[in-house]
Amino acid sequence: MKKIKNFDFTGTSYHGDSIKASFFQLTHLFGLPSINNCESKVNYEWELQTENGIPFTLYDWKYYRPLLIEETIEWHIGTDTKEHSKIIKQELDMLLK
């Protein structure tokens, strides 16, 4: 998986799949997030793409507070279809093992 630049993520949405991880784990895997705002519905968001070219976002949702870097929380997967969401969840679960 890799970061994407200059891609319009409009139209991606949450299809019910999420992962549990810490901010520390995700920054270790993907670097710093694209969005970093601790006073909104989303504190952090990564804009990523699978090796097969599926674009997706990975973000926290409605914590409304600063997150501890080693705190394990639920991260939503945002993508264009439910099928892609399932594929991405499987890949992320494998990376986090």
Ordered by start, the domain boundaries in the chain are 2-96
d(CA 49, CA 57): 8
Tell me the whole-structure pTM to 2 decimals: 0.90
User: What's the distance, CA 94 to chain centroid?
Assistant: 15
Residue 5 is predicted with a pLDDT of: 66
d(CA 16, CA 51): 22
pLDDT, one tens digit per residue, over 50-62 is 988 899 999 999 9
- Evaluate if residue 23 carries a pLDDT over 70: yes
